[in-house]
Amino acid sequence: MRRARAHLPSTVAALVALGGAGCGLGLWDEEPGGSANLPTLGAGAYRRLGPDIDTPGDEPWVIDDRFETFSDPAPLARAGGGLRVWFGWAAQDQLGSTIGYAELSSVHDLPVVAPRVVLTPSAAWEQGRIGAPAIADLGDGHLVMFYEGGDVATPAIGRADSTDDGDTWSRGDAPVLTDAAQPTVAVLDGQLVLFVTRPGEVGIFRTELAAATATAFTLRPEPVIVPRPELADAFDAVEVGSPFALITVSQAGRAHWGLWFTGAAEAPDAGAPPTAVGYAGSFDGDTWERFGGPDPVLGSNAFGPAVVLDGATGVMLFHDQHRLQLGIAAAVHP
């Protein structure tokens, strides 16, 4: 197997920890004037990395392989620089049957830790399929992973914990949330909130805040983000999904919620629609405002986004079709 390649833009010299945890980042520089004027620093727009003949990479691809599928990246910062990345991993035409892990140390080098499997399906409810990880760093070596598992028609969300900084993982026998898919997790005041999609339902849903040790979550009945068929030329006219949440706290102590998500402008006759990535902001996690009018912050095709910020500079990891498989690619802002 050819080793997956890693490369990130040199403008991000010290990548900041995010992924599911999303804390302590400079998404916004100042307090805004009101809920109708949410600041957008770091929200986008994003542009894919272009080819660079002077690097060993294969821009925009950062983790890819001719015979393997990598999807739904979930990054955290790596001590000493670079990224730790969890992802769905499958061979050939399977999607996310296991969860893998790799470490990227520099913008141009191959991974210092090559992709390896860290979690395989074992619980009965998982039915041999897990993927779409979301990671939160709770401190002192305690990581928590939420992931999708089970039959694709009736998916559920599982939880795994590591108290040795990701070396080993343990999990319960039951999911923490049923009838849900594509999880992302954010941390606010030591509590967790999940955003998910639901089979047969339209939109992106959130849970109530829960303790960091929670093994069950309460889903709110109404979605927080829905398609916009009424808006001319909207990138998300027919579908939204694949949320990625980030909560930061301003210098004034105000919580700022950010949500990146995919949207589709039209439904194809068969198969999944091509999706682009949009952004919405909120002060309370309840009322959200999208930016850019009908336009996305990253054009299609892009799936399963996750964002890493360093002040006003951002790197977005996402997956897309590469050769005959899915690979993880990068886009940058500004």
* Residue-range domain boundaries for the chain: 47-333
pLDDT category at 8 given cuts 50, 70, 90 is: very low
Q: Are 101 and 116 in contact, with CB atoms under 8 Å apart?
A: yes
* CA–CA dist 145, 150 (Å, integer): 16
What CATH number labels 47-333? Answer: 2.115.10.20
Cα-to-chain-centroid distance, residue 136: 11
Q: What is the pLDDT of residue 11?
A: 30
Q: Pick the most confident of 144-158, 269-283, 287-301, 314-328.
A: 144-158
Cα–Cα nearest to 308, from 281, 276, 331 = 331
pLDDT category at 41 given cuts 50, 70, 90 is: low
Tokens of 156: 């559920």
- Give 22's contacts (C-beta < 8 A, 6+ positions apart): 186, 187, 245, 246, 247, 248, 258
Residue tagged 């992931």 (tokens)? 147
Q: What is the pLDDT of residue 78?
A: 83
Q: Are 63 and 85 in contact, with CB atoms under 8 Å apart?
A: yes
Question: What's the chain look like in SS3?
Answer: CCCCCCCCCCCCCCCCCCCCCCCCCCCCCCCCCCCCCCCCCCCCCCEECCCCCCCCCECCEEECCCCEEEEEEEEEECCCCCEEEEEEEEECCCCCCEEEEEEECCCCCCCCEEEEEEECCCCHHHCCCEEEEEEEEEECCEEEEEEEECCCCCCEEEEEEECCCCCCCEECCCCCEECCEEEEEEEECCEEEEEEECCCCCCEEEECCEECCCCCCCECCCCCECCCCCCCCCCCCCEEEEEEEEEEECCCCCEEEEEEEEEECCCCCCCCCCCEEEEEEECCCCCCEECCCCCCCECCCCEEEEEEEECCEEEEEEEEEECCEEEEEEEEEC
* CA–CA dist 146, 187 (Å, integer): 13
Residue tagged 């939880």 (tokens)? 159
Cis peptide before 334 (omega within 30 of 0): yes
Q: What is the pLDDT of residue 81?
A: 79
Tokens of 103: 């470490």
- Which pTM was predicted? 0.88
* CA–CA dist 103, 80 (Å, integer): 11
Burial class (CB in 10 A: 0-12, 13-18, 19+), 142: middle
pLDDT at 13 over 50: no
Q: What is the pLDDT of residue 35?
A: 44
pLDDT at 3 over 70: no
Q: What is the pLDDT of residue 317?
A: 94
In angstroms, what CA-CA distances link 257 with 72, 111, 173?
21, 31, 32
The larger pLDDT score, comparing residue 31 to residue 134, is at 134
pLDDT category at 19 given cuts 50, 70, 90 is: very low
Q: What is the pLDDT of residue 30?
A: 43
pLDDT at 88 over 60: yes
Instruction: Write the single-letter amino acid at 294.
Output: P
Residue tagged 């925009």 (tokens)? 60
Percentage of the chain beyond pLDDT 70 is: 84
* CA–CA dist 122, 170 (Å, integer): 11
pLDDT at 7 over 70: no
* pLDDT tens digits for range 163-173: 999 999 999 99
